[in-house]
Structure 1
Amino acid sequence: MLLQSASEVLSTVWSSTQASLSVILVLVYGFFARKLDILSPEGEESASKLCVTIFLPSLLFSEIGPLASWENLQQYWIIIAYALVFQAISWIVGVIGVVVFKMPPWIVPCMVFNNATSMPLLLLSSLGKNGTLSPLVGKDSLDDVLDRGQVYLLINALVCNLTRFSFGPVMMKKHPLDIPHPWSHSESPHAIKQLVDEVRGYPEVQPYENQDEETPLLDQVKTGGKRSWRALKIVKKSVAGFMNPPMYGGLAAITLGVIPFTHRWLFEKGFLSPVSESIDKIGKLYAALQMLVIGAHLKSKKGSRPPIFTLIYLFVFRFAIMPVISTAMVYGVRKGLGDRILADPVLDFVMMIAPVGPPALTLAAIVEMSDTHEETETAVAKTIVISYALTPLISASVTAALAVVQKLY
């Protein structure tokens, strides 16, 4: 039994190492491309903008669209709830780091937004190939287990991506106690009061000097129309503060995905499927190019090493504390609700490991969108590199999650 457990740990360590090495090597390629002037400063900036404005929105569209249906939202609501709760817990821990320990604000999105797509999918595939997931197979085939696990991970990634690009740019540069909300982006610091005044009719409009019987009614119509238009402009400016290219891609995918006929046309080999397939091909360019850009940033961007205590705080939470929280929560929910939620050992296992691991690569894109200082950009890039070097630490979480799931079922 002990030998079997040690073998599982070693195979998980090797799977995690393989997944992290593939990321780190691409970062190294980007570093030397910049150092040898194969990639120019202008090319680096252009590639970064391409990632944010075209490739990343396309990736989100192609990932979210096929899964965006009313059936999925109804069946997998527990995954959405898990994702939001885990992010809320991570945000609280990040706020404590900034407020109590005076850490830089960029640590908060690094705490909240882990790699929820490429790393878990690679890890799941590797674990399936080396036999680590055999306790979860049961009567099903390994392919069925992997397919279900990928769906669960992508549903979780859908939620994480939408919250990441809604709140990430604000978290990256603002103090966490400045609670991000749409009104914080409007031109006026008193946008809510301004909107209320518009609706109530302040400031008052003076009546016309030469009135007849029809003038008061026309005056009210004109005044009401102007107030409504100004109120709509205030709302538009406020909501626009949360919008960015990745958000447009994600919202387009959800909108077209939940409408049955557009879902069939785009994502089920309908007559518009060439459009979705072309977007999918563009989106697949994002991950490798973004990693190259991060590697180039390590060479070209100026900035000091991230604070040691900040890194320790981040990595202890992401690789040690968060696994305990996620495993305990999933275990408690399964014990409490039982079959009232989707009963699948693969679901429980995936949700135990989904919030664990290194910060998301897309944080580099969020830095670009938030227009922060160059030092912040360098600090985030270096933090991402170090975190992927520590990715094999996930093996302990994976082994523990498997043991807990086996007890549950």
Structure 2
Amino acid sequence: MVSPLLISFLGAIQASLSVLLTIGYGVIAAQFGLVTTEAAEEVSHLCVNVLLPCLLITKLGSELHLDTVVNYVPIIIWAFIFTLSSIAIGKATVAFFRLPKWALPAIAFNNTESLPLLLLQSLETTGVLASLVGAGQTSDGIERARTYFLACSVVNNTITFSQGAKWITGEQDEQDDSTDSESQQFQENGQGCHSPVDENGDDSDDPNERTSLLPRKVVSWKRRIKNKLISQFQSYFQASPKPVQTILTAIGTFASPPFIGATIGIIIGLTPPLHRLFFNDMDEGGYFNAWLTSSLKNIGELFVSLQVIVVGVKLSLSLRRMKEGEEAGTLSLSTVLSVTFVRFILWPAISIPLIWALVAYTDILPNDPMLWWALMMMPIGPTAMKVLALADISGADQKIRMSIAKFLTVSYIITPIVSFAVVGALEAAKAAKE
């Protein structure tokens, strides 16, 4: 008779290989010229700015209720704890082993969005997580786990983009410089930028794919209002005291599309009339469910696969440049081993026993085995692809970016070793449940 542990491990291996193959499809598409790097960048922006917020609205909104909101409190707290702990571990590791500066965000930020969500899809197919929930409830448990990982990703993204860019080059004032450049850009947009539509509403250029489909008067009115608001905001911002500017800058860090989508989802989920409108059946008052919620869900579900395909396209570019030897950069073995140890060995050794102990000996965590498993897995996994975006934001040179691309290539190739953590977390959650 086959051991249940072996079955779980084989299922986890299959799920990990499914993720790796999906990344491989992106590599193949790029190699055959079906997707360019520029197109992948645009799709990546689409995923983060449109698809992910829609996914957060539908998932958080549907799973959140007044009686289940307590399940998300430990997720938010744990997300802050393990992210800040990863940053501390990264700083100590970089200083002790004299690793390149970009190794700090590589250690600090793991993939908390596309990869866990795709892994959950594969685990649902293999039935590995069925033992954590009752018979016939696997789909509901998987949906809850997806929502848990998405809630964690909001915290992770906030810290990543507020702190990560300045670590790539090691310049502590990088954030201030970027803020000044953004302010200058806002000022230019508000006072003198050229646009396809002038103040009279006439087209200044020939129509193209960026030409608005709205009437010219509407476009002209919208542009005047936008420029006026930006100009007023800039004048108020520059006239305010320095502490107020710092606070406004910090608030602006949180005002990202995923954070806004999560906020909307939380409001809908915790407001019973809105929850009924968006997610109930038509005969129970769900008048938005069949058209608005359904459309948001359709485009939100695209995020998981598209984002992983984009990962493959970016890795294809790094492989091609490695082959050509063009600004290849350097990648030391110590960097690979250090980041791999923290992401795939150290954090499983910390998170799995810790969450098990909290469940077994305290009443802090809610009685949801799928939540326990998700908490164990949240700090585990390969480095986030966002680190490459951070390198672009920080203005790092081409060699640094190619070194990061090389590392990400290696990191995602060895991703199937996360199967050990999947099985370990599964067995720990089952033991805590019993």
**Residue 195 of structure 2 corresponds to which residue in structure 1?**
none
TM-score normalised by L of structure 2: 0.71
Unmatched tracts of structure 1, length 5 or more: 189-225
**Residue 150 of structure 1 corresponds to which residue in structure 2?**
146
**Residue 383 of structure 2 corresponds to which residue in structure 1?**
359
**Residue 16 of structure 2 corresponds to which residue in structure 1?**
16
1:230 has 2:255 as partner: no
Shift of 1:243: 5.0
Q: After the TM superposition, which residues 219-368 of structure 1 pair with which residues of structure 2 at under 5 Å, given as runs?
A: 230-232=239-241, 235-236=244-245, 239-240=248-249, 243=252, 248-260=256-268, 268=279, 269=288, 276=296, 280=300, 285-300=306-321, 302-338=327-363, 340-368=364-392
Change (3 A) 1:142 1:259: closer
1:82 has 2:74 as partner: no
CA distance in structure 1 between the partners assigned to 2:127 and 2:414 by the alignment = 23
Shift of 1:52: 5.7
Segment drifting more, 287-296 vs 78-87: 287-296
Shift of 1:302: 2.0
Change (3 A) 1:357 1:228: closer
Counterpart residue type for residue 239 of structure 2: R
Change (3 A) 1:233 1:325: same
Q: Tell me the alpha carbon deviations over residues 21-47 of structure 1, each in whole angstroms, 9 at most, x when there is no partner.
A: 2213413432x246xxx76xxx63464
CA distance in structure 2 between the partners assigned to 1:368 and 1:241 by the alignment = 21
Change (3 A) 1:239 1:391: same
1:97 has 2:93 as partner: yes
CA distance in structure 2 between the partners assigned to 1:395 and 1:272 by the alignment = 38
Shift of 1:172: 2.7
Segment drifting more, 300-309 vs 88-97: 300-309
TM-score normalised by L of structure 1: 0.75
CA distance in structure 2 between the partners assigned to 1:274 and 1:145 by the alignment = 21
**Residue 211 of structure 1 corresponds to which residue in structure 2?**
none
Shift of 1:142: 1.7
**Contact (CA 8 Å) 2:114, 2:303: kept in 1 or not?**
no
CA distance in structure 1 between the partners assigned to 2:237 and 2:426 by the alignment = 57
Counterpart residue type for residue 260 of structure 2: A
**Contact (CA 8 Å) 2:17, 2:416: kept in 1 or not?**
yes
Unmatched tracts of structure 2, length 5 or more: 182-234, 280-287
Change (3 A) 1:255 1:403: closer
Q: Secondary structure at the match of 2:94?
A: helix
Shift of 1:230: 2.4
| Identity rate, percent | 23
Runs of 4+ in structure 1 over 3 Å off: 1-4, 43-47, 51-55, 68-75, 182-188, 226-229, 232-244, 254-268, 270-287
Shift of 1:95: 0.5
CA distance in structure 1 between the partners assigned to 2:2 and 2:83 by the alignment = 35
CA distance in structure 2 between the partners assigned to 1:228 and 1:362 by the alignment = 29
1:120 has 2:113 as partner: no
1:403 has 2:427 as partner: yes
CA distance in structure 1 between the partners assigned to 2:5 and 2:410 by the alignment = 28
Counterpart residue type for residue 108 of structure 2: V
CA distance in structure 1 between the partners assigned to 2:425 and 2:249 by the alignment = 41
CA distance in structure 2 between the partners assigned to 1:265 and 1:144 by the alignment = 19
CA distance in structure 1 between the partners assigned to 2:24 and 2:432 by the alignment = 36
Q: Tell me the alpha carbon deviations over residues 302-346 of structure 1, each in whole angstroms, 9 at most, x when there is no partner.
A: 2224111100101111111111111122123223432x4311111
Q: Tell me the alpha carbon deviations over residues 345-392 of structure 1, each in whole angstroms, 9 at most, x when there is no partner.
A: 111111112221111223333333232211122122221111111111
Shift of 1:2: 7.3
Shift of 1:279: 6.5
**Contact (CA 8 Å) 2:55, 2:296: kept in 1 or not?**
no
1:60 has 2:42 as partner: no
CA distance in structure 1 between the partners assigned to 2:125 and 2:263 by the alignment = 36
Structure showing greater Rg: 1
CA distance in structure 1 between the partners assigned to 2:430 and 2:302 by the alignment = 40
Aligned CA-pair RMSD = 3.6
Counterpart residue type for residue 165 of structure 1: F
CA distance in structure 1 between the partners assigned to 2:161 and 2:143 by the alignment = 27
1:370 has 2:394 as partner: yes
**Contact (CA 8 Å) 1:153, 1:354: kept in 2 or not?**
yes
- Number of matched pairs: 359
Change (3 A) 1:247 1:46: farther
Shift of 1:135: 2.0
**Contact (CA 8 Å) 1:183, 1:238: kept in 2 or not?**
no
**Contact (CA 8 Å) 2:90, 2:103: kept in 1 or not?**
yes
Counterpart residue type for residue 240 of structure 2: A
Counterpart residue type for residue 87 of structure 1: T
Q: Tell me the alpha carbon deviations over residues 95-125 of structure 1, each in whole angstroms, 9 at most, x when there is no partner.
A: 0122222111111111121111222222223
**Residue 27 of structure 1 corresponds to which residue in structure 2?**
27
Segment drifting more, 82-91 vs 250-259: 250-259
Counterpart residue type for residue 21 of structure 1: L
